[in-house]
């Protein structure tokens, strides 16, 4: 696994291969498998992501009762033509909620990179495929791009809310999705990493303060923010906008910010939103069950 995005970009230029190919070749070496098997694994994950969107149950609530039906509400609002966001972003938002709610309701999802941030990557990829009429093969290639970015973040920083705050979960997912979108749009390896950096910078310092210690509030709705953030970061990168801070340094900054956070606003559920009067009441109610 690569320990820097700069190294991936360097290898891409040196070998004349695309970002996703560099990551796939690394995966094959690390797992001691051939390309066909590696591709098959990614295909299975993408199919599971698609299933998590399609199998959303609008009537289902989580065991706590805190999560459920919001994706259906947003879809109704969208279908009524009331949404201020454009059509593409509207569909991204709906799918992000669908998957994140499904996770809270114990349905099958793909942790990408975590269960709490599971709605970001599938929402942007599936909507992009629908919008641009892309093949499944192209989507799987995009997953390699996302995996490469996530792998570097895990090496240099963290993907855990308990360790680095929600910036490590939603922030990382948004960076992965932004890079994957740029890859789908034919962007260079440098543009891919710039998109990831822009997305991650936008969510630096995001606390992880789950109410009642559950990956539900505010986690589910943050998937929407991470998804839309990924789209804007990808568009900026494709327009030629660069991150003034090199991508790897952005990841390093996330690590230092996470380590500087009070433990009360990581995944402990004792600070931030979890410590508000309403948050405390919800925790007391949930723990009685």
pLDDT of residue 269: 87
Question: How far, CA to CA in Å, does 5 sit from each of 143, 194, 235?
Answer: 16, 10, 19
The CATH code of domain 11-288 reads: 1.10.4100
pLDDT tens, position by position, 1-23: 999 999 999 999 999 999 999 99
DSSP state of 81: T
Return the structure tokens found at 227. Answer: 């998804």
Residue 27 to residue 36: CA distance in whole angstroms: 12
The whole-number pLDDT of residue 27 equals 97
DSSP class of residue 106 equals T
DSSP 220: H
The model's pTM: 0.97
What was the pLDDT predicted at 30? Answer: 96
**Cα separation of 272 and 274, whole Å?**
5
Domain edges within the chain: 11-288
| pLDDT at residue 194, rounded to an integer | 98
Sequence-ordered list of residues with C-beta below 8 angstroms from that of 192, at least 6 positions apart, any chain: 19, 145, 149, 179, 182, 183, 237
Low-confidence ranges of the chain (pLDDT < 70): 289
Q: What per-residue confidence (pLDDT) applies to 166?
A: 97
DSSP H/E element including 181: helix 170-184
Tell me the residue ranges of DSSP E strands in 201-249: none
Contacts of 212 (CB under 8 A, 6+ apart): 64, 66, 269, 274, 279, 282, 283, 286, 287
Q: Residue 289: what pLDDT?
A: 66
Structure letter (DSSP) for residue 205: T
């Amino acid at each position: 696994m690569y320990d820097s995005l700069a190294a991936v970009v360097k290898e891409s230029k040196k070998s004349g291969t695309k970002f996703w190919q560099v990551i796939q070749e690394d995966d094959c070496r690390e797992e001691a498998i051939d390309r066909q098997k590696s591709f098959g694994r990614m295909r299975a994950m993408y199919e599971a992501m698609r299933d998590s969107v399609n199998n959303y149950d609008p009537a289902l609530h989580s065991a706590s009762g805190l999560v459920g039906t919001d994706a259906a509400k947003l879809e109704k609002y969208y279908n009524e033509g009331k949404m201020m966001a454009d059509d593409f972003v509207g569909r991204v938002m709906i799918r992000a909620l669908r998957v994140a709610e499904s996770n809270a309701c114990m349905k099958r999802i793909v942790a990408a990179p975590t269960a709490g941030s599971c709605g970001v990557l599938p929402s942007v990829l599936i909507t992009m495929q629908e919008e641009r009429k892309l093949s499944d093969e192209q989507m799987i290639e995009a997953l390699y791009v996302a995996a490469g970015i996530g792998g570097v973040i895990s090496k240099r920083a963290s993907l855990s809310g308990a360790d680095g705050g929600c910036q490590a979960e939603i922030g990382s997912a948004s960076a992965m999705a932004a890079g994957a979108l740029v890859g789908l749009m034919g962007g260079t390896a440098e543009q891919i990493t710039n998109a990831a950096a822009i997305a991650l910078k936008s969510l630096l310092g995001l606390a992880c303060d789950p109410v009642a210690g559950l990956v539900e509030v505010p986690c589910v709705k943050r998937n929407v923010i991470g998804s839309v953030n990924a789209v804007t970061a990808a568009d900026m990168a494709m327009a030629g906008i660069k991150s003034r801070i090199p991508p790897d340094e952005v990841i390093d900054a996330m690590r230092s910010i996470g380590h500087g956070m009070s433990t009360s606003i990581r995944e402990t559920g004792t600070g931030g939103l979890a410590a508000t009067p309403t948050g405390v009441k919800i925790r007391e109610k949930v723990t009685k069950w």
